[in-house]
Amino acid sequence: MTALREGRVVRLGGSVPLDGRVSWAPADVRGTQPLNCYLVRSAEGAVLIDTGVRVHAARIVAQLRESVPENTPLAVVLTRTEMDCCLNLPEIEAAFPVTAVHYTGGITVPVVDAPRERITVEEGRPAELEPIPGIPLRIHAPRLRLLPTLWPYDPLSQTLFTSDSFCHTRTEADDAPDPAAVAAQLRVKFSWLDHADPAPVLDDLRAVFAADPVRAIAPGHGFPLLGRETVEAHVEATLKEIGR
């Protein structure tokens, strides 16, 4: 558990070994990789961005209990309705009063008692959402994706939650991007880039990062990128690889 952006944002989750069996990571990379979900806190409650993988369920519930007082209203925003994002919803709802689950896409989220609110976001036209008072989010629908994906942005902490993108970092202090790591991660996750016109993806990425100041990138896998200069360097490396 790690506090980001003056403690407003907290990274939750655990790590998994990279031994060739993790489908979203390059097969030849070894070591461990963090799998993340994120808590955004205000005086009125908290928003959980994704719920983590099933193997970390007990850990994440314990981390939530350390991070917010008992009976804190908790909204959940899913960046994707895939298993690494949504499977811990029942355990989290059993421990906290979940006010709503916000998601996109056509895949049904796990059964919960809380209201399920589908978010529809057009490419290039971010939507505004305030799931908990004091936590306004701007929701992007990026072109860099496989299935329907949301990138929430918290303007108060200037954090962009990028789901399964910008997951190429291999060490916690990865300030300077490794072009080979950027290339390998993009190609294993978004292999369609080799067969597509990169211009719309590049234009969209530039627009997302031009819309608001981003001082932290918080990916679902790998280490967060902290600081404006670090963010800019990794964005530039990603743009260069997509456009090559």
Per cent of the chain over pLDDT 90 is 85
pLDDT tens column, 128-141: 999 999 999 999 99
pLDDT tens-place string over residues 75-87: 999 999 999 999 9
* Residues 8-48: tens digit of each pLDDT: 999 999 999 999 988 888 999 999 999 999 999 999 999 99
Q: What is the pLDDT at residue 171?
A: 85
Q: What is the pLDDT of residues 196-244, one digit of tens each?
A: 999 999 999 999 999 999 999 999 999 999 999 999 999 999 999 999 8
- pLDDT of the residue at 105: 82
Residue 106 has pLDDT above 90, yes or no: no
SS3 per residue for 32-90 = EEEEEEEEEEECCEEEEECCCCHHHHHHHHHHHHHHCCCCCCEEEECCCCCHHHHCCHH
What's the token pair of residue 128? 């505004």
* Contact criterion met (CB below 8 Å) for 143 and 201: yes
Residue ranges per structural domain of the chain:
2-242
Sign for the CA dihedral angle at 91, 96, 100, 103 comes to negative
Encode the chain in three state secondary structure: CEEECCCCEEEEEEEEEECCCCCCCCCCCCEEEEEEEEEEEECCEEEEECCCCHHHHHHHHHHHHHHCCCCCCEEEECCCCCHHHHCCHHHHHHHCCEEEEEECCCCCCCCCCCCEEECCCECCECEEEEEECCEEEEEECCCCCCCCCCEEEECCCCEEEEECCCCCCCCCCCCCCCHHHHHHHHHHHCHHHHHCCCHHHHHHHHHHHHHCCCCEEEECECCCEECHHHHHHHHHHHHHHHCC
Q: 125: which 2 tokens?
A: 């036209």
Residues 20 and 16: their CA atoms lie apart, in Å, by: 11
Digit-coded pLDDT (tens) for 150-203: 999 999 999 999 999 999 998 887 789 999 999 999 999 999 999 999 999 999
Q: Quick one: CA dihedral 242, 146, 160, 212, positive or negative? A: positive
The listed CATH number (3.40.50.300, 3.50.50.60, 3.60.15.10, 3.10.20.520) that belongs to domain 2-242: 3.60.15.10
Confidence label for 1 from pLDDT (cuts 50, 70 and 90): low
Q: What pLDDT, on a 0 to 100 scale, did the predictor assign at position 235?
A: 98
